[in-house]
Amino acid sequence: KTITTDKALVRVQDLIPEKADQLIWLRARVHTSRAKGKQCFLVLRQQQFNVQALVAVGDHASKQMVKFAANITKESIVDVEAFVKKVEQKIESCSQQDVELHIERIFVISQAEPRLPLQLEDAVRPDGEGEEEGRATVNQDTKLDNRVIDLRTTTSQAIFRLQSGVCQLFRDTLTKKGFVEIQTPKIISAASEGGANVFTVSYFKTSAYLAQSPQLYKQMCICADFDKVFCVGPVFRAEDSNTHRHLTEFVGLDIEMAFNYHYHEVIDSITDTMVQIFKGLRDNFQTEIQTVNKQFPSEPFKFLEPTLRLEYTEAVAMLREAGVEMGDEDDLSTPNEKLLGRLVKEKYDTDFYVLDKYPLAVRPFYTMPDPNIPKYSNSYDMFMRGEEILSGAQRVHDAQLLTERAIHHQIDLEKIKAYIDSFRYGAPPHGGGGIGLERVCMLYLGLHNVRQTSMFPRDPKRLTP
Amino acid sequence: KTITTDKALVRVQDLIPEKADQLIWLRARVHTSRAKGKQCFLVLRQQQFNVQALVAVGDHASKQMVKFAANITKESIVDVEAFVKKVEQKIESCSQQDVELHIERIFVISQAEPRLPLQLEDAVRPDGEGEEEGRATVNQDTKLDNRVIDLRTTTSQAIFRLQSGVCQLFRDTLTKKGFVEIQTPKIISAASEGGANVFTVSYFKTSAYLAQSPQLYKQMCICADFDKVFCVGPVFRAEDSNTHRHLTEFVGLDIEMAFNYHYHEVIDSITDTMVQIFKGLRDNFQTEIQTVNKQFPSEPFKFLEPTLRLEYTEAVAMLREAGVEMGDEDDLSTPNEKLLGRLVKEKYDTDFYVLDKYPLAVRPFYTMPDPNIPKYSNSYDMFMRGEEILSGAQRVHDAQLLTERAIHHQIDLEKIKAYIDSFRYGAPPHGGGGIGLERVCMLYLGLHNVRQTSMFPRDPKRLTP
Give the pLDDT mean for A316-338. Answer: 96
A88 Cα to chain B: minimum distance (Å): 31
pLDDT at A59: 80
- Residues of B within 8 A of A152 (CB-CB) are 224-225
Contact B456 A204 (CB under 8 A): no
Check A203 against B463: CB less than 8 A apart.
Answer: yes
**Residues of chain B with C-beta less than 8 angstroms from the C-beta of A220:** 147-148, 151, 456, 465
Top residue of B26, B48, B148, B270 to mutate, by most chain A CBs within 10 Å, is B148
**Which residue from A356, A267, A350 is spatially nearest to A310, judged by alpha carbons?**
A356
Q: Give residue A63's pLDDT.
A: 92
Residue B388: active-site member: yes
CA distance A104 to A81: 5
Radius of gyration of chain B (CA): 27
Rounded to an integer, what is the distance from CA A32 to the centroid of its chain? 30
User: What pLDDT, on the 0 to 100 scale, is given for residue A135?
Assistant: 81
Catalytic site residue from B237, B363, B385, B395: B237
- Shortest alpha-carbon distance between residue A324 and chain B (Å): 31
**Minimal Cα–Cα distance from B336 to chain A, Å?**
28
The pLDDT of residue B1: 38
Do residue A113 and residue B181 have CB atoms under 8 angstroms apart?
no
Task: Tell me which chain B residues have a C-beta less than 8 angstroms from the C-beta of A12.
Answer: none
Q: Is the pLDDT of residue A2 over 50?
A: no
Residues ≥6 apart with Cβ < 8 Å to A432: A215, A218, A219, A254, A255, A256, A257, A266, A270, A392, A393, A395
d(CA A111, CA A40): 18
| CB contact (8 A) between residue B168 and residue A175 | yes
Give the chain A residue whose CA is nearest to the CA of B260.
A9
List the beta bridge partners of residue A418.
none
Beta pairing partners, B251? B234
Name the minimum distance, in Å, from the CA of B287 to any CA of chain A. Answer: 16
Query: Known catalytic residue: B239?
Result: yes
Min distance A3 CA to chain B CA atoms (Å): 7
Residue A194: pLDDT band (50, 70, 90) is low
B391 flagged as catalytic:
yes
**Distance, first Cα to last Cα, chain B:** 37
Catalytic-labelled residue, pool A249, A388, A405, A454: A388
The residue of chain B nearest to residue A464, with distances taken between CA atoms, is: B189
Would the CB atoms of A29 and B148 count as touching at under 8 Å? no
Statement: residue A155 has pLDDT above 70: yes
**Local confidence band at A127 (pLDDT 50, 70, 90 cut-offs):** confident
| Catalytic entry in B102, B385, B430, B439 | B439
State the catalytic residue, choosing from A104, A121, A239, A311.
A239
Please choose, from the candidates B429, B418, B435, B437, the residue with its C-alpha nearest in 3D space to the C-alpha of residue B216. B418
Model-level pTM?
Answer: 0.96
| CA dist., res. B437 & res. B389, Å (int) | 8
- CA nearest to A231 within chain B: B164
* H helix or E strand, kind and range, residue A103: strand A99-110
- Each residue's pLDDT tens digit, A248-259: 999 999 999 999
Annotated active-site residue B29? The verdict is no
Q: How far is CA B90 from the centre of its chain?
A: 35
Cβ pairs bridging A and B (under 8 Å): 254
Distances (CA, A) of B458 to A303, B186, B436, B452, B461: 42, 16, 14, 12, 8
pLDDT digits (tens, 9 = 90+) for A9-49: 999 999 999 999 999 999 999 999 999 889 999 999 999 99
* Domain residue extents for chain A: 12-110, 120-152, 155-453
Q: A76 to chain B: which residues are within 8 Å by CB?
A: 426
- Among B77, B182, B458, select the one facing A187 at the smallest CB separation: B458
Reply yes or no on whether A391 is catalytic: yes
Most A-contacting residue of B48, B187, B267, B425 (CB-CB within 10 A), to test interface: B425
The residues, any chain, with a CB within 8 Å of residue B102's CB and separated by 6 or more, are B53, B54, B56, B82, B83, B85
Residues of A in contact with B109 (CB under 8 A): 428-429
Question: Is the ipTM above a cut-off of 0.90?
Answer: yes
Q: Is A244 a catalytic residue?
A: no
CATH classification of B155-453 is 3.30.930.10, yes or no? yes
> Any catalytic annotation for residue B135?
no
Are the beta carbons of B53 and B44 closer than 8 angstroms? yes
DSSP string for B108-173: EEEPBPSS-SS-HHHHTPPTTTTTTTT-----HHHHHHTHHHHTTSHHHHHHHHHHHHHHHHHHHH
Q: Are residues B152 and A116, on separate chains, in Cβ contact within 8 Å?
A: no
pLDDT at B59: 80
Q: Hey, what amino acid is at B137?
A: T
Question: Which tens digits make up the pLDDT trace of A38-70?
Answer: 999 999 999 999 999 999 998 888 999 999 999
Q: Give the model's pLDDT for residue A53.
A: 97
Residue ranges of chain B with per-residue pLDDT less than 70: 1-6, 191-195
Cβ contact (<8 Å) for A425 and B147? no
Q: Do B426 and A46 touch (CB under 8 A)?
A: no
Task: Give the pLDDT mean for A359-375.
Answer: 96
So what's the pLDDT on residue A6? 63
8 Å CB contact between B78 and B44: yes
Domain B12-110 sits in CATH at: 2.40.50.140
Q: Of A314, A391, A458, A462, which is the active-site residue?
A: A391
Q: Does A151 contact B221 at a Cβ distance shorter than 8 Å?
A: yes
User: A12-110 and A155-453 share one CATH topology?
Assistant: no
In sequence order, the β-bridge partners of residue B127 are none
Whether residue B152 and residue A183 make contact (CB cut-off 8 A), yes or no, is: no
Distances (CA, A) of B168 to A170, B395, B448: 12, 27, 24
Sign of the C-alpha dihedral computed for residues B138, B144, B150 and B156 taken in this order: positive
User: Whole-angstrom Cα distance, residue B28 to residue B12?
Assistant: 8
pLDDT (tens digit per residue) in A84-120: 999 999 999 999 999 999 999 999 999 999 999 999 9
Q: What is the pLDDT of residue B5?
A: 56
**Inter-residue contact A397 to A428 (CB < 8 Å):** yes
Which of B116, B261, B426 is the closest to A3 by Cβ? B261
DSSP symbols for B333-398? PHHHHHHHHHHHHHHH--SEEEEE--BGGGS-TTBPBPSSSTTBBSEEEEEETTEEEEEEEEEP--
Q: Mean pLDDT, to the nearest integer, of A415-420?
A: 87
User: Phi and psi at residue A455, in whole multiples of 5°?
Assistant: -60, -45
State whether the Cα torsion B287-B293-B294-B299 is positive or negative. negative
Buried b (16+ CB within 10 A) or exposed e, B296-333: beeeebebeeebbbbebeebbebbeeeebeeeeeeebe
Please list, in sequence order, all residues whose beta carbon lies within 8 angstroms of the beta carbon of residue A170, skipping any fewer than 6 positions away: A230, A232, A253, A273, A277, A435
